[in-house]
C-alpha cells in the first residue's frame, strides 16, 4: 500500500505531522486508514455519549491513534483531524 494514495483527506496540521513521522509509522497509519475506510463505523465513537457526534471516530493501534471524521456522502470519505504517535 506504500505506493497508493492515502484513503483519507488530512487536515493541514495532520498532514504536516504525517510528513514528519518515520516511514514505518507512516505505513502503519496507511494500514489503519485503509481498514477504517472499508469499515468506518468499526472504530469507537470519540464521545459515545454524544448522539450527534457518531461520525467522529478514533482508531487506535498500539501507540498510534488517528482521530477522523466520516463524511457520509456517496462514496464515504474520511477526514483525518489529528494523529497521535506515542512512540
CATH code of the domain covering residue 55: 3.30.2310.20
- Max distance between CA atoms of the chain, in angstroms, equals 38
Using CB atoms within 10 A of its CB, is residue 85 exposed (0-12), middle (13-18) or buried (19+)?
middle
Q: Is the peptide bond before 85 cis (omega within 30 degrees of 0)?
A: no
pLDDT of residue 22: 96
**pLDDT tens-place string over residues 26-81:** 999 999 999 888 888 888 887 888 877 888 998 989 999 999 998 877 677 899 99
Predicted structure pTM score = 0.80
Inside any domain, residue 22: yes
Inside any domain, residue 42: yes
Cell 485503509, residue located: 34
Inside any domain, residue 4: no
Inside any domain, residue 1: no
Q: Give residue 27's domain range.
A: 9-85
Inside any domain, residue 71: yes
DSSP state of 5: P
Instruction: Work out how many domains the chain is built from and give that number.
Output: 1
Amino acid at each position: 500500500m506504500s505506493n497508493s494514495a492515502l484513503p483519507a483527506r488530512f487536515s493541514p496540521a495532520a498532514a504536516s505531522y504525517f510528513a514528519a513521522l518515520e516511514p514505518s509509522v507512516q505505513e502503519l497509519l496507511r494500514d489503519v486508514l485503509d481498514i477504517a475506510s472499508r469499515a468506518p463505523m468499526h472504530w469507537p465513537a470519540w464521545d459515545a455519549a454524544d448522539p450527534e457526534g457518531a461520525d467522529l471516530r478514533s482508531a487506535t493501534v498500539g501507540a498510534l491513534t488517528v482521530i477522523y471524521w466520516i463524511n457520509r456522502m456517496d462514496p464515504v470519505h474520511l477526514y483525518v483531524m489529528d494523529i497521535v504517535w506515542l512512540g
